[in-house]
Amino acid sequence: MSEQEPRDFIRQIIHDDLESGKHSEIVTRFPPEPNGYLHIGHVMSICLNFGVAAETGGRTFLRLDDTNPGKESPEYVDAIKRDVHWLGFDWEDRLTHASDYFGQLHDSAVRLIELGVAYVDSLSAEEIREHRGTLTEPGTNSPFRDRSVEENLDLFRRMHAGEFGDGEHVLRAKIDMASPNMNMRDPAVYRIRHIPHQNAGDEWCIYPMYDFAHGLSDAYEGITHSLCTLEFEDHRPLYDWFLDQLQPEHRPRQIEFSRLNLAYAITSKRKLSALVEEGIVNGWDDPRMPTIAGMRRRGYPPAAMREFVKRAGVTKKDKLIEMGALETCVRDTLGDVAERRMAVLRPLKVVLTNYPEGQVETMEAMNHPANPEMGTREMPFSRELWIEQDDFMEEAPRKFFRLKPGGEVRLRFGYIIKCDEVIKNDAGEVVELRCSYDPDTRSGTGSSDRKVKGTIHWVSCEHAIDATVRLYDRLFTEANPNAASDFHSVLNPNSLETISARLEPALGELAAGQAVQFERLGYFCADEKDDADEARVINRIVTLRDSWAKLEKQAMQKQG
Ligand code: ATP
Ligand code: MG
């Protein structure tokens, strides 16, 4: 182990367990239920489980926790595997399912009956609920609680053989109907469900309950530290109870940490699934979704997501983290590596009246202002150009250093131009600017060292590539949409804006999965599903932060 202080309480425990010799190897698992796609909260759990094992030379299982047939599907299994890999983790040969252990789990249930600590109850679900009591009142024993071991074994065998319908009987642990912890009031261990299973097919008609299956699966795999979220804290006594009764060879320890919640997003699979099913978003991988698949398609690099959960940290305190914190990680990751390009999102035409018709010059543009070793590309410059509508103002305030009537601005890697005339349509909207360029001011080679305050980006009309650009905003208008009684009421109606933009020619070569910075606008990538060579579809990954934009502007002014 390194000499560094462990960075959170779980790593501290693991550190201590290795020091004391309690364990010689750390074994963890990430146990998603395949009933939906993984989301940003899961990223935290994945990074923690795979992280602590990798840091100590241990092993991690990817275990599909599939004890709930009917809600689970192979589509979700495939998505989970793809997403964990993409995040940068490898389970090697340790892909398992809770359902792989159905045989052993069944035998362990039989063992509980033989030990006299489990019984078959024949009350209806409704009656069981009534017997359970409340937080303030103890429950009452079921009239079937004292069945003999023989009778329980026989009934459980017949449950297994398919002699009964769903809900007719249930196997329960015999613990304490008066326990202040509701989870200990004779919880269900096995129930009858006549439905096929996503992995086990129709081999079984009885299925183990989560609390029973989870701890034992941990034990079978030799998990040393079973890391889960705080809502399982009250289940820990039950987790330990099963292990106490059955005394498996390996004894895992459950440790809870707080869930990661992202502001303006939901991380409930049930609600995410509703967004998909109701067509509010375009699938689980819609770039507005807080799913791993959505964020991948949006263009978030996996390193940024790992960094985000690292910064969030592992604690016992509930956290609602700003979307801005995630976006900062995305920018930090892309800033040094994404090449710069020019694109005009809301085009306004500029005609350079003194530039020869038909002439095309080739401008050399740097791919990265701070990393000259990332090279240059060529940008054609001609008489008609697109600039950003925002970069022109007819009635501009004094401090507006972009284009205004009679004013001058530098075109990045090009010339200084002056706005001579504003052309409007019948509705009074500005549709074109007539400008003149100063031929002595060509970037880098200009004979004049004339300076102007503003520099703007541009694209040559004749050479531009048309593209559909998707601008994303948060899906919800409330920081904590989970708190809303109905999440539909806090949906952001403007979470997606689709515009048609003009790109510089080099963006014709933009590779799938490659992120670039559109200068002054943000980071962008081609959409992994809808983009095609003949019709580019581009996602905005994230805007530039203000301070970043300022730095970029300074760099641009220095270079001209
Ligand atoms: P849901 O309740 O929406 O179905 P879940 O938590 O039950 O989600 P699982 O597939 O059971 O989803 O989760 C797998 C693992 O990921 C569990 O160990 C769980 O504790 C962890 N996990 C789930 N959500 C979060 C979160 N928001 N933050 C941290 N860990 C999480
Ligand atoms: Mg769960």
Q: Is the pLDDT of residue 2 over 70?
A: no
3-state secondary structure of 179: coil
pLDDT digits (tens, 9 = 90+) for 262-272: 999 999 999 99
Mean pLDDT of 163-192: 98
Q: What is the mean pLDDT of the chain?
A: 95
Q: Is the pLDDT of residue 497 over 50?
A: yes
Q: Encoding tokens for residue 327?
A: 């976006």
Q: Is the pLDDT of residue 535 over 60?
A: yes
pLDDT attached to residue 444 = 81
Which range is least confidently modeled, 41-50, 319-328, 452-461? 319-328
| Sequence-ordered strand ranges (E) for 54-212 | 59-64, 95-97, 118-121, 170-173, 188-192, 206-208
Contact in structure between 66 and 197 (CB atoms under 8 Å):
yes
Q: Encoding tokens for residue 245?
A: 């009764």
Q: Is the pLDDT of residue 555 over 70?
A: no
Q: Is the CB of 319 under 6 A from ligand 1?
A: no
User: Which residue, by CA, sits nearest to atom 9 of ligand 1?
Assistant: 32
Count H helices and E strands in the chain, helices first. 13, 27
Distance (Å, whole) CA 172 – CA 139:
14
Q: Encoding tokens for residue 185?
A: 């009031």
pLDDT attached to residue 207 = 98
C-beta contacts of 489-492 below 8 A and 24+ residues apart: 491/280
User: Which residue, by CA, sits nearest to atom 2 of ligand 1?
Assistant: 268
**Model confidence pTM above 0.75:** yes
Q: Is the pLDDT of residue 483 over 90?
A: no
Which is the catalytic residue, given 145, 251, 259, 545?
259
User: Which residue, by CA, sits nearest to atom 14 of ligand 1?
Assistant: 32
Which range is least confidently modeled, 14-28, 198-212, 418-432, 533-547? 533-547
Please state the atom number of ligand 1 nearest to the C-alpha of residue 32.
10
Which is the catalytic residue, given 147, 172, 174, 269?
269
pLDDT attached to residue 533 = 82
Q: Is the CB of 269 under 6 A from ligand 1?
A: yes
Mean pLDDT of 123-131: 97
Task: Compute, in angstroms, the gap from residue 170 CA to the centroid of ligand 2.
Answer: 22
Mean pLDDT of 102-123: 98
Task: Compute, in angstroms, the gap from residue 322 CA to the centroid of ligand 2.
Answer: 24
Is 259 assigned a catalytic role? yes
Confidence of residue 547 (pLDDT cuts 50, 70, 90): very low
Confidence of residue 474 (pLDDT cuts 50, 70, 90): very high
Q: Is the CB of 44 under 6 A from ligand 1?
A: yes
3-state secondary structure of 423: strand
Q: Is the pLDDT of residue 392 over 70?
A: yes
- Higher pLDDT among residues 484 and 258, named by residue: 258
Q: Is the pLDDT of residue 556 over 70?
A: no
Mean pLDDT of 310-338: 94
pLDDT attached to residue 553 = 52
φ, ψ for residue 268, nearest 5 deg: -105, 125
pLDDT attached to residue 449 = 80
Q: Is the CB of 42 under 6 A from ligand 1?
A: yes
Q: How many residues are recorded in the chain?
A: 560
Domains of the chain: 9-257 (3.40.50.620), 269-298+316-339+467-559 (2.40.240.10), 343-457 (2.40.240.10)
Is 408 assigned a catalytic role? no
pLDDT attached to residue 185 = 98
Strands 430-438 and 347-352: parallel
Type of residue at 157: R
